[in-house]
Amino acid sequence: MLNSDSPVPLYHQLADIILARIRSNEYPPETKIPSEHRLAEQFGIGRPTARQATDLLVRRRFLTRKRGSGTFVLAKPEEVDLFSLGGTLSAFHRKGISVNTRILEKIRLESVRQDPENPFSEAKAYFFSRLSSVEEIPVLKEHIYLHPMLFSGIDQLDISGRSLSQIVEELYYMRPRGGDQNFRIGCLTGKHAEDLRVLPETPVLVVKRFLHFKQAENAVYSELYCRTDRFVFSQTIGGIQDD
Tell me: do 165 and 54 sit in the same domain.
no
Here the CATH number for the domain that contains residue 190 is 3.40.1410.10
pTM of the model: 0.65
Tell me: do 57 and 138 sit in the same domain.
no
Please report the pLDDT score of residue 78 as a whole number: 46
Tell me: do 161 and 130 sit in the same domain.
yes
Residue of 67, 83, 100, 123 whose CA lies nearest to 235: 83
Question: Is 233 part of a structural domain of the chain?
Answer: no
Residue of 138, 154, 148 whose CA lies nearest to 226: 138
Question: Is 2 part of a structural domain of the chain?
Answer: no
Tell me: do 54 and 117 sit in the same domain.
no
Residue of 228, 145, 127, 213 whose CA lies nearest to 183: 228
Please report the pLDDT score of residue 139 as a whole number: 87
Are the C-beta atoms of residues 18 and 11 closer than 8 Å to each other?
no
**Distance between CA atoms of residues 54 and 199, nearest Å:** 53
Tell me: do 121 and 217 sit in the same domain.
yes
**Distance between CA atoms of residues 227 and 214, nearest Å:** 33
Tell me: do 59 and 134 sit in the same domain.
no
Here the CATH number for the domain that contains residue 49 is 1.10.10.10
Would you write out the chain's pLDDT as a tens digit for each of its 243 residues? Answer: 788 888 889 999 999 999 889 988 899 999 999 999 999 999 999 999 999 999 999 987 789 999 889 999 987 654 434 454 445 555 555 556 677 889 999 999 999 999 999 999 999 999 999 998 887 889 889 999 999 999 999 999 888 877 788 788 888 888 888 888 898 999 999 999 999 998 888 889 898 999 999 999 999 999 999 887 666 665 555 544 433
69 C-beta neighbours (distance < 10 Å), count: 8
Tell me: do 188 and 136 sit in the same domain.
yes
Q: Is 19 left (phi over 0), alpha (psi -120 to 50) or beta?
A: alpha
Residue of 82, 40, 59 whose CA lies nearest to 179: 82
Tell me: do 148 and 220 sit in the same domain.
yes
Question: Is 61 part of a structural domain of the chain?
Answer: yes
**Distance between CA atoms of residues 240 and 179, nearest Å:** 10
Question: Is 80 part of a structural domain of the chain?
Answer: no
Tell me: do 134 and 169 sit in the same domain.
yes
Question: Is 236 part of a structural domain of the chain?
Answer: no
Residue of 225, 74, 219 whose CA lies nearest to 147: 219
Residue numbers of the domain that contains 99: 85-227
Number of domains composing the chain: 2
Tell me: do 193 and 160 sit in the same domain.
yes
Question: Is 235 part of a structural domain of the chain?
Answer: no
Question: Is 243 part of a structural domain of the chain?
Answer: no
Tell me: do 64 and 100 sit in the same domain.
no
Residue of 165, 182, 166 whose CA lies nearest to 219: 165
Contacts of 156 (CB under 8 A, 6+ apart): none
The residue out of 45, 73, 101 marking a domain boundary is 73
